[in-house]
Chain A
Amino acid sequence: MTAQTSPPVRLSVRELSVRFWMRGGRTVAAVTDVSFDVAAGECLALVGESGCGKSVLTSALLGLLPGNAQVRGSALLDGLDLIAADEATLARTVRGRRVALIPQSPAAHLTPVRTVRSQLEETVRELTGARGHQARAAAERVAERAAFPADHLDHHPHELSGGLAQRAAIALALVGDAPLLIADEPTTGLDRDLVDRTVDELRRHVDDGHGLLVITHDLAAAERVADRIAVMYAGRVVELADADDFFGSPGPRHPYSRGLLDALPERAFTPIPGMPPELDALPDGCAFAPRCPRADAACAAVPALTGASGRAVACHHAYARTPETADV
């Protein structure tokens, strides 16, 4: 990639860890030492198997973790630390206004008994203070920006197709004009063309200057929408890469990332042997070792994530880069 000046960093997560204290003295290491950036006008896709800690990370960024969670590290969003902020600050100035969530299941997120228009107008009143026909006009504008058809505004959620419900949820997320959007598994259970359309709409908002963090297990969706990929395994980011490098050539560098891509039916269709470890019983050393074709004695020590900030890998025996970029 060319060495142009990168856009200003919007979200900067540093050494974020989340532990849950469970009954019986168990601890769940849901997120461990995670660091990444999301710039304005950029999309980072966080990919991994279910249960790898992706959704806990989202909750941490939105301040929505349960009481038994202990969080360390920082997540600076345009200067404000989302981790240190108290609930009042998060509720008044962050959620919906500086970070907006596009939920996993839009149909469940929308209130069933109210029309899309009334939900949009309420969110407009809440987030902008606009009233009356100002609120009405703002709701219609935001619907238009989300490509939600005006003639469906007076419908109830159950009268919408899956695609329109998804757009209604995106419209709701756009109301507060938050600079950072987080989409949590936005394409789960959708048909391929609906996946493509949803993802292309999300991409439009990135091209408008939003930062977008997409949490997904859908590699095809990640390939279509993301500039950069962060692969999570057992609570850690094990690889950060440019999407083009990752899906194209030279391909992923971490054995787990390779395994994920090789599992795709358009590639080798070979599963990674075994299952991810339980987050309350992580093995010592590299957590991927029991499933890894390259594991050896060196892997008894946890590999650090090393490399330039945008492109890094946590593996003692990472696959090589192309020669001209092999500079780690």
Chain B
Amino acid sequence: MSEPIPAPATGPAAGPAAAPALELLDVTAGYDRRAPVLDGISLTVAAGESVGLLGPSGCGKSTLARVAALLHRPWAGAVRLAGREVRGFRHRAPRELRTSVGVVFQQPRLAADPRLTLADIVAEPLRATGRRAEIPDRLPELAASVGLGGDLLARRPHEVSDGQLQRACLARALVLRPKLLICDEMTAMLDASTTAALVAAVEDHRRAHGTALLAVGHDRVLLRRWCDRVVDFPPA
């Protein structure tokens, strides 16, 4: 691989007039009203841009990732995806908004159903959105792009390593070709080579599809190397 980390994506979605992939405006959120985890936070990720959000564990950056992924409802403030204001979160989020964001978490064992094969895990979003017919077309290509070859797709989570399972979780997050990918400590449990391989897979996908990226993590060296810009949590 001569060029492991490509230049910032300038794919189809990243034209000059495109609305930002993500805007958080004055967002307040948390789990206990007396002690909000996010207190009036704003953050913008331009279309096609990659932003690293850096902070120690427990600082609230994962809550921010969950708000941006529409998995956690903020108490106040606005969340906009590609210029559209989000009104419903979790199961109330409209499908076309939900499917416009892909997310990968730190712990693949918690994020993947242990009863499914890796192929079913990757294809889950296609099934859930009634696009089952696209599976034969999309699955092999996508699996190859994250390095899942051979018989790995036929295995279940307990038969593969953390790194292999995380590759499947990344493929699942990309299978609907989201406009925004959120990686919350995606590589925190992984060795150096698997980390570099997953980042390269993300960047290949972004280059081909113009996907914007919010990478949340605690490793400054990694985020600096990976992203167009790095923001310390809480973002100013």
With an 8 A cutoff between CB atoms, is A217 at the interface? yes
With an 8 A cutoff between CB atoms, is A245 at the interface? no
With an 8 A cutoff between CB atoms, is B161 at the interface? yes
Determine whether the beta carbon of A269 is less than 8 Å from that of B196: yes
Chain B residue contacts of A190, Cβ below 8 A = 57
Q: Mark B99-120, 1 if CB is under 8 A from A, else 0.
A: 0000000100000000000000
What is the CA–CA distance of A271 and B162 in the complex, to the nearest angstrom? 16
Q: For B197, give the chain A residue with the smallest CB separation.
A: A271
Chain A residue contacts of B193, Cβ below 8 A = 49, 259-260, 263, 271-272
Minimum distance in angstroms from A282 CB to a CB of chain B:
15
Minimum distance in angstroms from A42 CB to a CB of chain B:
24
What is the CA–CA distance of A217 and B220 in the complex, to the nearest angstrom? 18
What is the CA–CA distance of A48 and B193 in the complex, to the nearest angstrom? 10
A268 and B4 in contact (CB under 8 A), knowing A50-B191, A188-B189, A259-B193? yes
Q: Which of A188, A189, A265 contacts B196 (CB 8 A)?
A: A265
Minimum distance in angstroms from A118 CB to a CB of chain B:
26
Query: Would you list which residues of chain A between 270 and 312 have a CB under 8 Å from chain B?
Result: 270-275
What is the CA–CA distance of A234 and B224 in the complex, to the nearest angstrom? 32
With an 8 A cutoff between CB atoms, is B135 at the interface? no
Minimum distance in angstroms from A67 CB to a CB of chain B:
19
Minimum distance in angstroms from B234 CB to a CB of chain A:
16
Chain B residue contacts of A153, Cβ below 8 A = none
What is the CA–CA distance of A21 and B162 in the complex, to the nearest angstrom? 23
Q: For A162, give the chain B residue with the smallest CB separation.
A: B57
Q: Mark B199-236, 1 if CB is under 8 A from A, else 0.
A: 11000000000000000001111101110000000000
Chain A residue contacts of B191, Cβ below 8 A = 48-50, 217, 260, 263
Q: Mark A183-196, 1 if CB is under 8 A from B, else 0.
A: 00000111111000
Chain B residue contacts of A264, Cβ below 8 A = 192, 196
With an 8 A cutoff between CB atoms, is B194 at the interface? yes
Query: Would you list which residues of chain A between 195 and 231 have a CB under 8 Å from chain B?
Result: 217, 219
Minimum distance in angstroms from A237 CB to a CB of chain B:
17
Determine whether the beta carbon of A219 is less than 8 Å from that of B192: yes
Q: Which of B5, B163, B164 contacts A269 (CB 8 A)?
A: B5
Q: Which of B1, B194, B224 contacts A270 (CB 8 A)?
A: B1
With an 8 A cutoff between CB atoms, is A63 at the interface? no
Kindly name the residue among A48, A219, A270 whose own CB sees the greatest number of chain B CB atoms within 10 A: A270
What is the CA–CA distance of A231 and B106 in the complex, to the nearest angstrom? 26
What is the CA–CA distance of A162 and B58 in the complex, to the nearest angstrom? 10
16 contacts between A and B (CB under 8 A): A48-B191, A49-B194, A189-B57, A189-B106, A192-B219, A263-B196, A265-B224, A266-B225, A269-B196, A270-B200, A271-B1, A271-B4, A271-B197, A272-B197, A275-B163, A275-B164
B interface with A by C-beta (< 8 Å): 1, 4-5, 56-57, 106, 147, 161-164, 188-197, 199-200, 218-222, 224-226
4 further A-B pairs in the complex, CB-CB below 8 A; given A263-B196, A264-B196, A269-B199: A49-B191, A217-B191, A265-B195, A265-B196
Closest 4 CB pairs of A and B: A271-B197, A217-B191, A271-B196, A263-B192
A interface with B by C-beta (< 8 Å): 48-51, 162, 188-193, 217, 219, 259-261, 263-266, 268-275
